[in-house]
Amino acid sequence: MSNVYKVSAIILAAGKGSRMKTGINKQYLSLGGKPVLAHTIEVFDRAECISEIIVVINKNDNEIFINSVLKPYDFKKITAVAEGGEDRQASVFNGLRLVCPSADIVVVHDGARPLVTTDIIQRSVEAALETGAACVGVPVKDTIKKVDKELNVEYTPDRSELWAIQTPQTFRRRILFDAHEKANRDGFRGTDDSVLAERLGYRVRMVMGSYTNIKITTIEDLAFAETLLKNFLHRGD
């Protein structure tokens, strides 16, 4: 596929990770002997469908990024490093502006999801090629309740229709760029890229992810990821 379509990946690593209370951003914490972010980039660097990687980092993390991620690992596909914005949406747009103009597809992924697989990335790209927009997720396992401000239950949605959204989220480049530009003009802030495409009327295809494709947000997540890395995941995917 990579010989026909150019696929760019934006990896987001600009968050401050304040919930970790570790003194450094979560993307640089050690997981299996290497930084979380290095694990994430490694998967995209290995994925045959990915042509280039743009990493978006916090402006205060330039030194640690260079010394702990860029220099020690021989990543082949990193073409640019962008400065993070005031929120996730702004960070994605900063990265998007550095994407190669000839890119057909753009994949957006959280740097703190190091257990993504090349198979998930590939299927996400294939779905976006077919439909224009796709996001990875998994069916929810728990019953979900909608509550009011006083924490009274208002209703119980049908669990069979609910998915927990992960990344990557993948789009034709023009769709993602237009969605971000329109959101910026309107002053709309979304929690993910999919909602920006949805509000322009695009149908977003759901792609089955994995319950192991976790986002590392807390110390407990990091410990769980260590267990998954050691006992369950075979990284030769």
pLDDT digits (tens, 9 = 90+) for 16-71: 755 555 567 889 999 999 999 999 999 999 999 999 999 999 999 999 999 999 99
Q: Which CATH architecture has domain 7-231?
A: Alpha-Beta Complex (3.90)
d(CA 214, CA 145): 22
- For 2-31, write each residue's pLDDT tens digit: 458 899 999 999 987 555 555 678 899 999
pTM: 0.93
> Rounded CA gap, 85 and 93, in Å?
8
Angstrom distance (rounded) from CA 116 to CA 121? 8
Sequence-separated (6 or more) residues with CB below 8 Å from residue 43: 114, 116, 117, 118, 121, 235
Reduced to 3 states (helix: H, G, I; strand: E, B; else coil), residue 168 is: strand
